Homo-oligomer: A and B are copies of this chain.
Amino acid sequence: MKRNLSLLMDFYELTMANGYFKDGRHQDIAVFDVFFRSIPDDGGYAIFAGLESIIDYIENLRFDDEDINYLKSRNIFDEGFLKYLENFKFTSDVYAIEEGTPIFPNEPLFIIKGPIIECQLIETMVLLSINHQSLIATKTSRIVREAKGRPVFEFGARRAHSFDAANLGARSAYIGGVTGTSNTLAGRLFNIPALGTMAHSYVQSFESEFEAFKSYALNYPDNTLLLVDTYDTLHQGIPNAIRVHNEILKPMGKSLKGIRIDSGDLAYLSKKVRTLLDEAGLTDTKITVSNALDEFIIRDLVVHQDAMIDSFGVGERLITARSEAVFGGVFKLSALEEDGKLIPKIKISDNVAKTTIPGFKQLYRFYDENNMAIADLITLHDEVIDSTKPYTLFDPMHPWKQKVVENFRVEKKLVPIFEKGKLVYNIPKLSEIRKRKEQLFESLWKEVIRLKNPHEYYVDLSQDLWDIRQELITKHKN
């Protein structure tokens, strides 16, 4: 029961596609790259996500009668073009970075090489998928990191930007490092631990808080987690929770699993609550907190406030990436075949940093002997890096800044996804993607991942690629 999302594309993709078609140029081979220019929240890295959605879109890209009739009704599209869409078959090559990989500005994340008409038709969905999902995975990884090993749960469905944002947002958050989600459908669809216990309304719906807690304990004796702040956390909520433990759970051989605080001063309350619970012998009862948390508040609680918190529920600021709700991936032409030869294309900007990197490319990541990432290198697609010899990296903006690396290892980061339209990539399980993120994250220097003023990770160009770019810039200036 697949949704038909084929027409989720900017209308100009279709006017351009129709133009190429009518000009007889639609089968000309082009190369387009996706890259981004700046990291949300002034961070030092981002986490790549969204590839599985893109694969899904491409695999299901058909134009049904409704689509064709709609386009026909616009009275601007060529009959032959509509026929082409009716019989659409994806035939391009696609390379991409794998989900869960740390990524950096200006490097190619996704490359399509194929008929220019196909490149154009998938543009919007490719960007949409990468931009949203990388945004959430990145934001989540910042939040999870500051929790310093304490589990973080994604609680944001009610503030997500609609249904897919809740579901795919939960998936991206899981890649980014959350332990579970409150979204049941995401749990079912992606096999993410889905969990939750009670809202204030449950407590309010009973005669008393104690009665509510008692009901919950009797219904869920193995996993009694009580929301204690409906009336007064310290004077009612915790005493009632302890009473439920003593009167209901203990006689059954069970114990109070945890309590949740959703309002008030979380640092102060968590410490007071910990003391009350410990004094009642409930040293194993966990304290969970929620309420407009983000990476900075969590860091404050954990590092500066000595809060006694075992896990965090994070909602709106994660699922909307509220502090920076835009991930700015772009999709740019980088080469065009002329007479059977790929000719690199550049888009010059007065803003030097916005001038594109031309050509059909590949991306390598350099690691040192301790498996720490040193730099990324953008090369021509077929360049081979010989890691047995010293390699000279240089800053593409200031080429006199050089660094010779030895005893390194390289990883090719762009892997084949489609070959001539055929899916050749083994789609990994979500749990594997999550593990990849965890492992690769370990290879980043602390200086790169810190929240404020991170070190700028090196993304360099190979000499060959740099030369081509300079040549095109020079040619263009004349």
Contact = CB atoms under 8 A, between A and B. Distances in A.
A27 interface: no
Interface in A159-210: 159-169, 182-185, 187-188, 194-202, 204-205
Contacts of A316: 326, 328
A412 interface: no
A66 B8 contact: no
Interface stretch (A274-282, A317-325, A422-430): A317-325
B201 A333 contact: yes
Contacts of A32: 201
B158 A124 contact: yes
B333 A204 contact: yes
A67 interface: yes
A293 interface: no
Contact of A162 (B23, B168, B185): B168
A365 interface: no
B184 A332 contact: no
A9 B165 contact: no
Interface stretch (A127-135, A302-310, A395-403, A447-455): A127-135
Interface in A418-444: none
Contact of A198 (B4, B15, B201, B333): B15
Given A169-B161, A326-B322, A347-B204, A196 B333 contact: no
Given A216-B19, A220-B76, A333 B205 contact: yes
Interface in A129-145: 129, 131-133, 135
- Which among A30, A324, A333 has the highest number of chain B CB atoms within 10 Å? A333
A116 interface: yes
A372 interface: no
A11 interface: yes
A341 interface: no
Contact of A10 (B67, B162, B183, B327): B183
Contacts of A168: 162
A268 interface: no
B161 A165 contact: yes
Given A1-B3, A19-B219, A32-B201, A132 B157 contact: no
Given A161-B164, A161-B325, 18 more contacts: A1-B1, A7-B188, A8-B167, A9-B185, A11-B196, A32-B201, A70-B184, A76-B222, A123-B158, A128-B159, A128-B163, A135-B161, A162-B168, A162-B169, A200-B333, A205-B336, A320-B320, A322-B326
17 contacts: A1-B1, A8-B157, A8-B167, A8-B185, A10-B158, A15-B219, A19-B220, A76-B223, A123-B199, A128-B162, A131-B158, A161-B161, A162-B164, A200-B333, A201-B332, A205-B336, A263-B349
A-B pairs, top 8 by smallest CB distance, nearest first, are: A12-B196, A11-B196, A162-B164, A161-B161, A325-B325, A127-B158, A161-B165, A7-B185
